[in-house]
């Protein structure tokens, strides 16, 4: 299980030693995150069963109230439709404020990009597991940042060139671009 930031970058990984998603893995990641954040920073937390995690945290005191006050729980877009109607209304990612139009599927994309490691890491020892996984996550992060920057530069350049042509045309015709009227 892993914790990603809003840019889909890996912050922490947890080695799951038992099958299935247990809440204590998510709780450890949340506590680790809040140990590294300023005390009153609000966090939007997307989790497949974020609704159940919030309920059990409140009911059983699994997280401190000082942490719970600053967490906004939400359920991933594609997982929300499997939940009950009331849960969809309260926890659906697009109905919660502060999450924008994210679909929250960064973890799915991460595991999809790391799936080639499964056969290799199943037969390797612990000494090889952690460095290989860390290197793969770092490589993925660097390559996606590089691709993102290249696409942003291309987009900015393709938008800038026609815009400059329009501005030059307006200035030649005597129209001031910022005022939109003849001088």
Give average pLDDT by consecutive 10-residue segment, the chain, 183 residues. 86 82 90 93 91 93 93 84 82 87 82 82 76 76 63 68 64 57 46
Q: By residue range, what is the domain housing residue 86?
A: 2-104
Asked whether residue 137 is assigned to any structural domain, the reply reads no
Distance CA 90, CA 76 (A): 12
Look at residues 113, 162, 168, 121 and name the one whose alpha carbon lies nearest to residue 142.
113
Q: Does residue 150 sit within a domain?
A: no
Domain annotation covers residue 158:
no
In-domain check, residue 112: no
Does any domain span residue 115? no
Residue 16 in any domain: the answer is yes
89 inside domain: yes
Question: Does 57 map to a domain?
Answer: yes
30 alpha carbon, distance to own chain's centre? 14
- Predicted structure pTM score: 0.69
**Domain tally for the chain?**
1
- Degrees to nearest 5, angle at CA 128 with 123 and 132: 105
Q: What are the tens digits of pLDDT across the range 77-118?
A: 777 777 788 888 888 888 898 888 788 888 888 888 888 887
């Amino acid at each position: 299980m892993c914790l990603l930031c809003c840019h889909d970058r890996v912050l922490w990984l947890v080695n799951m030693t038992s099958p299935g998603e247990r809440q204590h893995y998510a709780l450890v990641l949340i506590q680790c995150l809040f140990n590294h954040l300023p005390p009153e920073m609000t966090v939007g937390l997307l989790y497949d069963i974020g609704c159940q995690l919030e309920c059990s945290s409140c009911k059983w005191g699994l997280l401190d109230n000082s942490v719970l006050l600053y967490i906004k729980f939400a359920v991933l877009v594609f997982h929300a439709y499997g939940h009950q109607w009331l849960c969809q209304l309260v926890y659906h990612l697009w109905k919660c404020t502060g999450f924008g139009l994210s679909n929250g599927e960064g973890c799915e994309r991460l595991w999809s990009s790391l799936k080639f490691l499964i056969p290799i890491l199943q037969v390797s020892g612990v000494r090889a597991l952690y460095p290989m996984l860390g290197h793969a996550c770092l490589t993925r992060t660097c390559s996606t940042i590089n691709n993102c920057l290249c696409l942003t530069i291309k987009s900015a350049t393709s938008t800038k060139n026609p815009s400059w042509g329009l501005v030059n045309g307006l200035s030649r015709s005597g129209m001031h671009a910022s005022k939109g009227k003849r001088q």
